[in-house]
Amino acid sequence: MSRQEEERLNAEGILNDNEREEEGVNFIEEIIREDLKNGKNDGRVHTRFPPEPNGYLHIGHAKAICIDFGMAEKYGGLCNLRFDDTNPTKEDTEYVESIKRDIRWLGFDWGDRLYYASDYFDKMYEYAVQLIKKGKAYVCDLSAEEIKEYRGTLTEPGKESPYRNRSVEENLDLFERMKNGEFPEGSKVLRAKIDMASGNINMRDPVLYRIQYATHHRTGDKWCIYPMYDYAHPIEDALEGITHSLCTLEFADHRPLYEWVLDNVDYSKDAKGRPRQIEFARLNLTYTVMSKRKLKTLVEEGYVRGWDDPRMPTISGLRRRGYTPEAIRDFCERIGVARRDSIVDIALLEHCVRDDLNKRAPRAMVVLNPLKVVIKNYPEGQVEWLETENNPEMPEMGVRKIPFSREIYIEREDFMEDPPKKFFRLKPGGEVRLKSAYIIRCEEVVKDPETGEIIELICTYDPESKSGGANAGRKVKGTLHWVDAAHAVPCEVRLYERLFTVPDPDNDEDGRSFTEKINPDSLKVLTGCLAEINLKGAKTEDRFQFLRHGYFCVDPDSTEEILVFNRIVSLKDTWAKMKNKA
Ligand code: ATP
Ligand code: MG
């Protein structure tokens, strides 16, 4: 972005970092500051990020990670990584590893505080027995459907289970036998005894434990009863000494249950302090689905090439696409933290990526659809190494040499035989400047005699028009990127469009599922592209700005013979443009 552009965006309050710094204390920080002022939790700030290892992390999780780790960092506290592995059937160590990798890549560190909900299964069992002894929990034989029926609705109270008044002894005996595997799956659950008439459905005797004969990725076959999230989470938080348990808004209705568990379980000998749950709005992005279930569908039904497909909003997809952790963190900062759900324009995310890459991506010349140009007055066999800047925005990134000789390639679309008036690229008899090289003139168009397709241009060059020459300052309307034929590096370029054709693919009010809104043209593969010699040896995740084409990143599919590039974003900044109009 140019200085001017930046000033303009600043003036509109889009980029004003200073201002954000001054007033940008979000409501979570207000709570943390208040707690610190009052000496609550002995002045500690301790958060956690609690992913369920049942899928890959996505950009929404990045927001949660930035908040959880970011708050701890900012207020001198700690943030734990805790895998919420209370559901044995859906979890996988593949996901555990990918989640760890993604958090590290984003630039956050949990130190030695890596925990699993399953670390606390013994404690949770002990506390459940405690609840039974206090008459606060009971074993219920209703089926899942019956429990649902008995639960009531938003407008009608629920009905008490016929098993609600079992004696403490009977409950203790049954719960132990549940644990010992004496009952079939689904035949019994442990429920909290709270209030079937509560206005909050979550408080109508919620299930605390269910029977599941599944091998757990960490505890194996030790358990056949597993705690429910709402029971497990406050206990995990308490045992880890979490002070501020930050989560998304859908848990707001569960907060009374979180509090109930902390009120009724006596964990004082195992932990001190009491965690507090605070909810913030989830991130929703236009043209994007974020639910893990839907992302899984995209992968499993082959709509994309995998969890790390560059079109996926997963962290691994964004990484492969070429997004930088800095850009993602900047995005999370700019969207802020609010209590109301909203949808963020994906153009803002792309804007953050451009903004970051503009400053650090070296420039390169790559021709996507090559057209050969022979410069007939250039000496045969001669090669010159011309100098060009690596990044005009960042002079400190220096210069590089690019070869120039008699045969080069330009972009096919940069030549028109019969152009409209305002076409400032190459045309018969016309002149253009080749970037960081000479001015050439098109003298002759060579066509395939059979098909009539243009296969080559014969040009002449002005030997005095390069930098330092007598005609260096001579002005022509167009400047083209090009690559030298003899030194060109073959590559494949993958261009991406949005994965969905509509801004709200989650919305199924029109009766069409999200998979019916997939953009059939979201991936376009260009083969036979040619890159300048300096890209030879580029490594996975190396990023460049290809002049006039956008930002690109080396894909791991690259081989010795052929480099594969993903387009990260084009150069057209729709976000800045939109804000400009507004
Ligand atoms: P899904 O509902 O898609 O399965 P999830 O929310 O259940 O995802 P978890 O692994 O439980 O996924 O999420 C870990 C943490 O990330 C939770 O604290 C959750 O609130 C937060 N999180 C998940 N999705 C988003 C989002 N879109 N925006 C912000 N935070 C999110
Ligand atoms: Mg969840």
Cβ neighbours for 535, distance < 8 A, ≥ 6 positions apart:
364, 366, 489, 491, 544, 563
For residue 21, what pLDDT band results from cuts at 50, 70 and 90?
A: very low
Tell me the two tokens of residue 101. Answer: 């990798």
**Does any ligand 1 atom lie closer than 6 A to the CB of residue 274?**
no
**Does any ligand 1 atom lie closer than 6 A to the CB of residue 248?**
yes
The phi, psi pair for 484, rounded to 5°, reads: -75, 130
CB 308 within 8 Å of CB 320: yes
Q: What angle do CA 237, 240, 241 make, to 5 degrees?
A: 85
Residue of the CA atom closest to atom 22 of ligand 1? 61
Q: What pLDDT is stored for residue 9 in this prediction?
A: 46
Integer Rg of the chain from CA: 31
Q: What angle do CA 80, 81, 84 make, to 5 degrees?
A: 120
Distance 52 CA to ligand 2 centre (A): 6
Q: What pLDDT is stored for residue 179 in this prediction?
A: 98
Active site residue 292: yes
CA 192/CA 137 separation, integer angstroms: 4
Average pLDDT for residues 266-281, to the nearest whole number?
95
For residue 104, what pLDDT band results from cuts at 50, 70 and 90?
A: very high
Tell me the two tokens of residue 144. Answer: 């899942």
pLDDT digit string (tens) for 457-503? 999 999 999 999 999 999 999 999 999 999 999 999 999 999 999 99
Pairing of strands 189-192, 207-211: antiparallel
Tell me the two tokens of residue 329. Answer: 């963190």
Which among 69, 108, 248, 288 is the best mutation to test ligand 1's pocket, defined by most ligand atoms within 8 Å of the CB? 248
Q: Which residues pair with 138 in a beta bridge?
A: 191
CA 427/CA 444 separation, integer angstroms: 10
**Does any ligand 1 atom lie closer than 6 A to the CB of residue 297?**
no
Active site residue 94: no
pTM above 0.85, yes or no: yes
Q: Which of 128, 13, 11, 15 is nearest to 355 (CA)?
A: 15
Q: What pLDDT is stored for residue 23 in this prediction?
A: 58
CA 324/CA 355 separation, integer angstroms: 11
Which ligand is the nearest neighbour of the Cα of 281? 1
* 5, 52, 259, 393: the active-site residue: 52
Average pLDDT for residues 198-226, to the nearest whole number?
96
Query: What percentage of the chain exceeds 70 in pLDDT?
Result: 96
Residue type at position 40: K
Residue of the CA atom closest to atom 27 of ligand 1? 60
CA 380/CA 378 separation, integer angstroms: 6
Cβ neighbours for 21, distance < 8 A, ≥ 6 positions apart:
none
CA 573/CA 348 separation, integer angstroms: 9
pLDDT digit string (tens) for 529-556? 999 999 999 999 999 999 999 999 999 9
Higher local confidence (pLDDT), 311 or 15: 311
For tokens 């859908």, the residue is 250
The strands making up 207-211's β-sheet, listed across from edge to edge, are 137-140, 189-192, 207-211, 225-227
